[in-house]
Amino acid sequence: MIIKTNTAEGGTDSAAVTTGNSGGASGDAWTVVSSPSGSVTYSASQYQHGSLGYLFSPASGQQSLVRWTGFNDKAGAVRFYLPTGISAHSSNEPICMIYTATGTGITNISVNSAGNYIIQDATGSSVHLFTSVCSAGDRIEYSFTVGTTTSNGSWNFALYQGDALTPVETGSGAAENFGTTAWDRVQFGKITTSTWTGTIGFDDMTVASGTTTLPALNAKWGVTPTIASMGSTVVSTTTSAAIPVPAGIVSTSLVVVWFWSFWIETGTAPTAAAFSPSAGFVLGDFRSLLDTNIGFYSASAWYYKYATGSESGTYSFSISTVGGTAPFKSFGTAFNIANGPGNDNPFVDGIRYISNGGAVTSVTIPAFTPGGDSSLFMAGYVDGSATAVTLPAGWATDSSTLINTSTGYQVIGHNSQTIATNTGALTFSATGAASSMFAHMCVIRPPLAGLPWLSFS
């Protein structure tokens, strides 16, 4: 999955847009900017959000466009805004084109001479004409899949005004000629070499490959989530744990909890039902581990919730007996996450877990590249016998708690990425007696949320 977005906010009003100046605060830089004898400029009159958008001013017989490449997938989704609509023109004008790495068309979004939106297929033929006329503030959301034949490509389209959640008009199709080759490129602006010399403005373009969903409208793309505050780590030796609420929790705050327990028994593996979280918390992931060195079961879980108001005090978690054995010890920590998503599952790249139940001194989460920029990594790491533990290079320690009187540690740490890059192998290591250990890691980034009107796969 690849997600690219550009807001134009890193530019300067009236300055020419280039591949070199279109990244930074704007988002993902354009692969190509082209407007022979015309211009593509940053414009203070073409913004939907912030203070800048893009203004395309084509010359007769020339294109005027920006382009991203390198998506290489059979599913995709695009979103863009037209802050001032499109000026008068006398023919169908494609304003968004999706095509292959070799230049073969997949599908277009066009506007006809009357201002109606049109969906076009790989041959440029119209497959759907909408009744709505292009107007200032339009938001387009379009998802599509390339077919296995030239007659089973599919698409879904929704037209909104501004940031409204209710569409003005929708449409879909499932028997289209979108070719059979993976799409690779998308471009916005004046796509053809017609004689039209009007203007069109764009803002907040977002493209996703490998999915037919788009980032939620309230997602803070370009802003990396951070740990605003955390409560102290609670240690419980009973069947309940009162986890301190972190400071600053208000309505819609994202609260994340890491919780784990162990039982001195080896006959029954704990399941997610062993933990009963405080009201409102949703399970993100649960894992269990059998220690074959000393002889016990442990279980670890990540939870999240969105607060419905200010909160203080503690979150009450319950721990069940497993195999007739009460929990020996439990540990829990709650975090207040700033600049995170405002709804939906925040663990967008899934949760990674690595463990070894034998006598070892390190575990390693394999290298991966997050599915998008602005990611916060958090991990809980446990070693039953260590005298010291080490997080991966570059990680910060948020909490470190002894499990026993003088040995064994449970540690929570974090790291972040502004731009998605390969993490390299993430090794969690310990010194002291070899023991079983595990690392339970989540990635927090604004989520992928389905189009509000759409149920599509």
Angstrom distance (rounded) from CA 233 to CA 8 = 42
**DSSP 8-state class, residue 28:** S
The structural domains of the chain, with segments of one domain joined by +, span 2-214, 226-448
**DSSP 8-state class, residue 419:** S
Angstrom distance (rounded) from CA 311 to CA 313 = 7
Among candidates 238, 298, 311, 237, which has minimal Cα distance to 269?
A: 298
- Residue spans of alpha helices (H) in 111-246: none
What are the backbone dihedrals phi and psi of residue 226, each rounded to the nearest 5 degrees, phi first? Answer: -135, 165
Q: pTM value?
A: 0.57
Angstrom distance (rounded) from CA 254 to CA 415 = 18
What's the mean per-residue pLDDT of the chain?
90
The reply to whether CATH 3.40.50.2000 applies to domain 2-214 is: no
Angstrom distance (rounded) from CA 390 to CA 362 = 9
Per-residue pLDDT of the chain (457 residues; tens, 9 = 90+): 788 999 898 999 999 999 999 998 888 999 999 999 999 999 999 998 778 999 999 999 999 999 999 999 999 999 999 999 998 888 899 999 999 999 999 999 999 999 999 999 999 999 999 999 999 999 999 999 999 999 999 999 999 998 777 899 999 999 999 999 999 999 999 999 999 999 999 999 999 999 888 766 644 445 688 999 999 999 999 999 999 999 999 888 999 999 999 999 989 999 999 999 999 999 999 999 999 888 899 999 999 999 988 999 999 999 999 999 999 999 999 999 988 776 678 887 779 999 998 888 899 999 998 876 778 999 999 988 888 889 999 999 999 998 887 778 889 999 998 777 899 999 999 988 778 899 999 999 764 433 333 333 3
Cα–Cα distances in angstroms (integers) from residue 293 to residues 231, 359, 428, in the given order: 32, 6, 19
Angstrom distance (rounded) from CA 25 to CA 21 = 10
List b or e across 66-104, with b for residues whose CB sees 16 or more CB atoms inside 10 angstroms.
Answer: bbbeebebbbbbbbbbbbbbbeebeebbbbbbbbbeeee
